[in-house]
Amino acid sequence: MAGMILTLATPCFAQDAPPSPVPLLVAADLREGTDLSGPWHYSIDPFRSGISGFHGGMPDTGQQRWRDVDVRAAMAKDSRVLYEFDLAHSPLASLPSAWLTHAPELRHYDGLMWYQRTFAAPETRKGRYFLRFGAANYATIVYLNGKEIGRHEGGFTPFAFEVTRALRDGQNQITVGVDSQANEATVPPPVTDWENYGGITRPVRLIATPDTYVDDAWVRLTRDGRMAVDVHLDGPQAANRSVRLKIAELGLDRAGTTDAHGDWRATMAAPRALIRWSPENPKLYDVAVTSGEDRWHDRIGFRKIERRGADILLNGKPIFLRGISMHEEELGVDPTRAITPAASRALLSEIKDGLHGNFVRLAHYPHSDVTVRMADELGLIVWSEVPVYWRVAWSNPDTLTRARTMLAENILRDRNRASVAIWSVANETPVTDARNSFLRTLVADVRRLDDTRLVSAALLVERGQGADHPVMTLADPLAEVLDVMAINTYNGWYSQDRLSDLGRSEWHVPADKPLICSEFGADARAGFHDPANKQKFSEEFQADYYRATLSMADHVPTLRGMSPWILKDFRSPRRQNPDFQQGWNRKGLISETGQRKEAFDVLGDYYARKASSR
């Protein structure tokens, strides 16, 4: 199990403070570095014999995949030597990519995989060096030149380990063990409705920094419209150090000095010339924070998102979020969760241009920073969420630590992204006292880490029956600590409702907060038409389902946005109807190859009318 890699010592944070992952290396994707993408050797280890021996304890030498050894030479030299692996001569795969596309026999592999490659250390080395992983799913252990340098749990957030002292001149050997297997205590748990995509799914880079560098910088507009900057330096000269914030295009140049902990916080009037970010004008600025030899930079948009009563306001004006949900899966018949800028642009452009959207729900886990940056650039507001999904082990303190750490890693990675407006802490989680306490802790963490955004969760609604129509009630106690209500509803798809009855549905939701319909949808196999009977899985049924549900939505008075389920068909092991699904969830408005279905224009026309009626 993933736990085999991790001896999860509960990180040392007081219950009232969120986890603080170190190092953060915020905006490290923009820092200079050596990209280790490309060919890596791989070798499966389904019984995890590289992690522990068959009676437990340390594995035999002959099973230690991470040893810094030339296996062939060692065995040729001494007939007593035995190695039952040889990564340097194992098959190659191009990373980043999930292993299900490395080879046909790996399509359904779920367990521990070892990866290894060598790389040349920089000729002249000065300052500090970090190995940064964009993400690896699910539990990871990393070795450099035969020495363990770190472990991480969580399949969707970045992590980094300092290797300054472990690097050697010439060739260095990196070995990574990634265990994809979920268990009852992981986040997410084993049962979800998406493909697990085990492996190193985002880039691995060797990053160089000065001895003292900018580990975190958060630059934003506060709720009262001022510009605020928080900087944290890491290194021997972090304390009482001069720091500078520059936004050249705005003529902003502000100096400061860090405190004894290496922190600098300042607020200032927003420059008069500041153009606020919006979907219509996604203005980004080059922001630099300099200190000593380090020059940190990011491209940041400035805007305000707030709630006033039942309205969501962007830059002080009410907005309706015209969105759709999206999994992290590129277009194509054999996706491997390798999200390049081109792959991300292709998907998000379908929302922005095809559907006339201004909003995307990045479900059900933190997506690649490539996608969040693309949303910044194209002008899409983002709902960002952690995979606290369905049946989580609410009473397990380790599970809570995992969720809190994942949430903190997500927020601390993306706090500078103007597109991110909503942090979601859960999806469709059954209401119990233990679940309420668990989620309230996550909501409190969001409030402490980021007081500029809204908090939500995709909730379940209770269904009752009126005389001749469904009565839907949102009675989730978590609602009182959320800014935005969000509900998933599938009346007409997973229920026996006639589509013609949906318009008569009765909705009971809190009247004083904005509501987002975070999911509704119906499957259709692209190209399957049944105009006569309109059976389920036909494009005609899906289009009628959208017409009926959109008409119903128009009667919910506090509705301020929607993110129907879902932009694109996606792999799901739970969906095995051989005529229509073949292991894919077909609720996409486009097929896995991007073929638009009839319902695409039903939603696109609805949003075009919404956009013009503002």
Binding flags for ligand GCU, 584-603, as an x/- string (CB under 6 A): -x-x----------------
Rank residues 102 and 364 by Cβ distance to ligand GCU and give the closer one: 364
Query: What is the smallest separation between the CB atom of 390 and ligand GCU, expressed in angstroms?
Result: 8
- Closer CB to ligand GCU, residue 513 or residue 587? 587
Binding flag, residue 519, ligand GCU (CB under 6 A): yes
- Closest among 312, 315, 248, 250 to 282, alpha carbons compared: 315
How many residues make contact with ligand GCU (CB under 6 A)? Answer: 9
CB of 367 to ligand GCU, least distance (A): 14
Among 427, 549, 563, 591, which residue sits at the site for ligand GCU (rule: CB under 6 A)? 427
In the chain, what are the helix, strand and coil shares in percent, each to the nearest 5? 20, 30, 50
Rank residues 402 and 586 by Cβ distance to ligand GCU and give the closer one.
586
Pairwise CA distance, residues 328 & 362, whole Å: 8
The SS3 call for residue 503 is: coil
Angle at 325 between CA 432 and CA 218, to 5 degrees: 85
Q: Name the token pair of 320.
A: 């309706």
Interface residue with ligand GCU, options 428, 445, 450, 540 (CB under 6 A): 428
* Residue whose CB is less far from ligand GCU, 449 or 487: 487
Whose Cβ is closer to ligand GCU: residue 193's or residue 216's?
193
Among the listed residues 110, 193, 414, 497, the single contact to ligand GCU using CB under 6 A: 193
Q: Contact between 329 and ligand GCU (CB under 6 A)?
A: no
CB of 383 to ligand GCU, least distance (A): 13
| Nearest distance, CB of residue 205 and ligand GCU, angstroms | 31
* Residue owning tokens 């993110």: 563
156 lies in the site for ligand GCU, by CB under 6 A: no
Cα-based torsion angle of the residue sequence 85, 87, 89, 90 in order, rounded to the nearest 10 degrees: 90
Q: 69 or 458: whose CB is closer to ligand GCU? A: 458
Please state, as a whole number, how many other Cβ atoms lie within 10 Å of the Cβ of residue 22: 13
Determine the residue with CB nearest ligand GCU: 193
Q: Interaction with ligand GCU in 567-586: which residues (CB under 6 A)?
A: 585
Structure tokens at 235: 């290194």
Of 303 and 587, CB closest to ligand GCU: 587
Q: Is 488 in the site for ligand GCU (CB under 6 A)?
A: yes
Task: Report the nearest approach of ligand GCU to the CB of residue 519 (Å).
Answer: 5
Interaction between residue 336 and ligand GCU (CB under 6 A):
no
How does strand 97-98 pair with strand 199-200? antiparallel
DSSP structure string for 446-489: HHHH-TTSEEEEEEE-EEEE-SSSEEEE---GGGGG-SEEEEE-
Of residues 402-421, those binding ligand GCU (CB under 6 A): none
Closest to 418 (Cα-Cα) out of 283, 573, 580: 283
Phi, psi of 447 (to 5 degrees): -60, -35
Residue 532: CB minimum distance to ligand GCU, A: 26
Residue 10 CB partners (closer than 8 Å, separation 6+)? 397, 398, 401
Please state the closest distance from residue 230 (CB atom) to ligand GCU, in A.
34
Q: Provide, rounded to whole angstroms, the least separation between the CB of residue 495 and ligand GCU.
A: 12
| Dihedral over Cα of 18, 22, 26, 29: its sign | negative
Which one-letter DSSP state was computed for residue 56? B
H or E, element range at 323: strand 321-326
Contact between residue 381 and residue 314 where contact means Cβ atoms under 8 Å apart: yes
Is 200:132 a contact under the CB 8 Å cutoff? Answer: no
User: Of 405 and 585, which CB lies nearer to ligand GCU in the complex structure?
Assistant: 585
Judged by CB under 6 A, the residue of 213, 320, 507, 565 near ligand GCU is 565
User: Cβ of residue 575: shortest distance to ligand GCU, in angstroms?
Assistant: 8
Is 61 exposed, middle or buried (CB count within 10 Å of its CB: 0-12, 13-18, 19+)? exposed
Contact (CB, 8 A) for 398 and 184: no
User: Under the rule (CB under 6 A), what is the footprint of ligand GCU?
Assistant: 193, 364, 427-428, 488, 519, 565, 585, 587
